[in-house]
Amino acid sequence: MTPSRLFFNSSIIRQNLRQHGWIGIIYALGLLFALPVQMFTRETHSSLPQEIKNLFQIGNGIQSLFIVVFPVAAGLFLLYYLQGKSPSDLWHGLPFRREHLLATHLLSGLLLLLPPVWLTAAVTAVVRQWGGNMFSYEGADIWSWCLMVSLLTIFLFCFSVFVGICTGQSIVQGIITYILLLLPAFLILLMNSHLSVYLYGYPYVYNVNSNAEIWSPLMHIMNIAANPFSVKEVWIYGALSVVFIIMSFLLYRKRHVEKAGQAIAFTAFNPLFKAGVMFCAMLICGTYFTSGKQQLGWVIGGYAIGALIGYVVAEMILRKTWQIFTRRVPLEWAVYTVLISLLLYIPASGLTGYENRVPSNDKISGVFAGGNYWMRDYSQDTLANLPIDQDPFSSDKDYIEAVRKLHLALAAVRPERNSQSVANYTRYQSFTLAYQLNNSRKLVREYLVPVKGFEPELKAVMETEAYKSEAYQMFQLEENTYRIRLSNRDKVVDISNPVEIAEFKEILKREILNMSFEEQTSDRTPQAYIEVYSDQKQNVNRSSLFYEWKPFYQELESWLVEKGYADRVRTTSAEIKSAEIMKDDFDGRISYEELYNPEKHVELARSEKRTAVTADKNFITSILEHERDFAARNGMILVRMEYKNGNTEYVQLEDSDLTPALRALLP
């Protein structure tokens, strides 16, 4: 007997193709509409075809929708006979071994799903040179698309079949299939929220942005245009497809026919199902109840309610009835709750030493300190293809030691931000500390560091060239620039002369490198904002950078004055009609909800006759030279400036900023 006769039955295959052929037809039409048809229906103002990095960029995500729906649907319909008692008895009464049946249905599914992919790839190749095609791509892009979609189609179909064998209802099979495809990312989000509440320094933003999507096949497929699968991920999904096929054969041999109609076909999976549902419910309720309340009672109550809801839901699904209460229910619920609580408590406790873990110097090969590290978190393969000055990690030993000292101080003191303490306003610096270790692993922490009390440690870090180069993206100032724009409210100045652009960038780099710690943490209002436009031919994904013309950039100010740009963009006293100045003493007399509404501060001061209005240009010039951003700080000097064009602006001054004449003006 030949292998084809042994494992595949042509009659069953023909029956499947006749009965479920509509799946393949719609899948083919959908892919053809989402890819080749979209190439000719896209509206564009340019007559030149658009260059794309991969074919998934065409169609605005429509391709992903078809890819995640039809392979799963094929698994649902082809295994429908397993989920009903009558069809299950009929099929299993045929003179075929179970391996024979499953292999035949698997082959039927692949015959339904793969030809549409290959047909779409062939049509895409044929129309590549046709007139009216608004996209430019190569033959290699077509091969890459075809292989990737074929692999994802096989993976999703095999996974749907595996879930179908483990479940006993088609609706449960579909729901659980998509839940499991989303579950890894969902659990990462929940665990990140859970751990960020209890672990000081836990890098919530970094972990969510760098880990969530890649662990969810469904999310990754939906974002495949922007984040294509790597070669490593391709091999992983291929291996998983083989694993699910093998597991399907093994489990199908042990599946009882009478389990058709049950939610879970294997009773051995029931405890895992209950624990999974309770785990997710406890995380959701626990995070919800502890987000606003940190009292122990709210914490315990939140997780207990989540455990109860999860257990009840899981039991009702498994028993297919709401009458689930028996004598064993309270004890079983308590056992599950205790075990899952330990699973949640241990990682979030101090038992692991997470909060005090600071690597020693001899284990560190590079360090990063600054904000938004997740946007600069390159893999080692990516770093190898980038210029050395774009590596976010610095190997400077002095800088590494400075960052370690800051980290040690934060781990020892653990400062917490008190959002209600506005009267004793303290500025904060957002810091991500990332270490590249010698074993190629990374250690990442996120902190909100108060400036007050950590001046020595912050100064040692923030005044280094390594920190400034990364924090102010100075490496990007080395790129070709075709325009620099200075803007301030409705005033704009463009610098396009190549010589002036080069001079401006060199001065700006010196100003940034010369900034002191005090200047970097100052709340002085910028005189203008600087937008540096990089050469778009070399950087299609990054067209402009943003900087500030800070009031202490003396060399830059002199250059702008010399070129005649300064007064064309910065605010001058001639533009201001009047300034209303007052001592901002609001402690206890303004509600927290209205605290950051400066007009309420002005109304309070007016009612207490603590304001003075001036139109003196010398006074206004002095205010402009020392103005700071409004931050609702008690005891500051608040100024309401009315412009001649009708606009209003609120700024603040320190008491030390006042000239004797301005101080005398205050009531």
Residue range 348-371, pLDDT digits in tens: 887 888 889 999 999 999 999 987
What's the confidence (pLDDT) of residue 170? Answer: 85
Looking at the predicted structure, is the pLDDT value of residue 612 above 90?
yes
Q: What is the pLDDT of residues 402-411, one digit of tens each?
A: 999 999 999 9
* pLDDT score for 44: 54
β-strand pairing of 364-370 with 544-549: unpaired
**Cα distance from N-terminal residue to C-terminal residue, the chain:** 106
Tens of pLDDT, residue by residue over 427-436, are 788 888 999 9
Question: Cα–Cα distance between 505 and 517 in angstroms, integer?
Answer: 22
Torsion angles phi and psi, residue 341, rounded to 5: -60, -40
- Give the integer Cα–Cα distance in Å for 151 and 600: 61
pLDDT at 345 over 60: yes
Q: CA-to-CA distance for 369 and 601, rounded, in angstroms? A: 37
Going by the DSSP 8-state scheme, the letter that residue 229 receives in this structure is P
State how far the Cα of 415 lies from the Cα of 448, in Å rounded to an integer: 8
Q: What is the pLDDT of residues 215-240, one digit of tens each?
A: 888 988 888 888 888 888 899 999 99
Average the pLDDT over 253-269 and give the result: 78
Helix (H, G, I), strand (E, B) or coil at 448: strand
Q: Given this model, what pLDDT does residue 1 score? A: 41
pLDDT score recorded for residue 371: 79
Rounded-to-integer distance, Cα 156 and Cα 245, Å: 11
User: What is the torsion angle, in degrees rounded to the nearest 10, for the CA atoms of residue 209, residue 212, residue 217 and residue 219?
Assistant: -60
Residue 351 and residue 197 in contact, taking contact as beta carbons nearer than 8 Å:
no
On the question of pLDDT at 424 being above 80, the answer is no
Q: Which residues, at least 6 apart from 501, have a Cβ–Cβ distance to it below 8 Å?
A: 481, 482, 483, 484, 495
Q: What is the DSSP letter of 414?
A: -
Q: How confident is the model at residue 292 (pLDDT cuts 50, 70, 90)?
A: low
- Tokens (6 digits) for 233: 């991920």
Mean pLDDT of 506-511: 94
DSSP characters for 147-188? HHHHHHHHHHHHHHHHHHHHBS-HHHHHHHHHHHHHHHHHHH
Name the residue type at position 499: V
Q: Grade residue 42 by pLDDT with cuts at 50, 70 and 90.
A: low
- Reading the block at residue 5, the tokens are 């006769």
Between 258 and 111, name the one with better pLDDT. Answer: 111
Residue 631: phi and psi, rounded to 5, are: -140, 20
**Partners of 638 in the beta sheet?**
582, 652
Encoded amino acid at 553, one letter: Y
Are 371 and 431 a contacting pair, CB within 8 Å? Answer: yes
Portion of the chain with pLDDT greater than 90, in percent: 39
Mean pLDDT of 327-340: 87
* Sign of the torsion formed by the C-alpha atoms of 518, 524, 527 and 530: positive
**Phi and psi at residue 64, to the nearest 5°:** -60, -35
The model carries a pTM of: 0.78
Q: Highest-confidence range of 136-145, 258-267, 320-329, 610-619, by mean pLDDT?
A: 610-619
Give the pLDDT confidence of 302-323 residue by residue, as tens digits.
Answer: 888 888 898 888 888 887 777 7
The residues pairing with 483 across neighbouring beta strands, listed in sequence order, are 533
Query: Does residue 582 have a pLDDT over 90?
Result: yes
Predicted pLDDT at 378: 44
Residue 562 tokens read as 């010399």
Q: Which residue(s) pair with 428 in the sheet?
A: 450
Query: 3-class DSSP state for residue 381?
Result: helix
Q: Can you tell me the distance from the alpha carbon of 513 to that of 527, in angstroms, rounded to the nearest whole number? A: 19
Give the pLDDT confidence of 144-182 residue by residue, as tens digits.
Answer: 999 999 999 999 999 999 999 988 788 888 888 999 998
Kindly report, residue by residue over 439-483, the tens digit of the pLDDT: 989 999 999 888 888 999 999 999 999 999 888 888 778 888 889
pLDDT average, residue stretch 372-383: 53
**316/263 Cα distance (integer angstroms):** 10
Residue 211 pLDDT grade (very low, low, confident, very high; cuts 50, 70, 90) = low
Q: Tell me the domain boundaries of the chain.
A: 3-42+52-265, 289-352, 361-471, 474-569, 573-665
Q: Is the pLDDT of residue 387 over 50?
A: no
CA distance 402 to 588: 40
547 in Cβ contact with 532 (< 8 Å): yes
Q: Give every CB contact of residue 302 below 8 A, 6+ residues apart in sequence.
A: 285, 286, 287, 288, 289, 290
For residue 390, the model assigns a pLDDT of 59
What DSSP character marks residue 524?
A: B
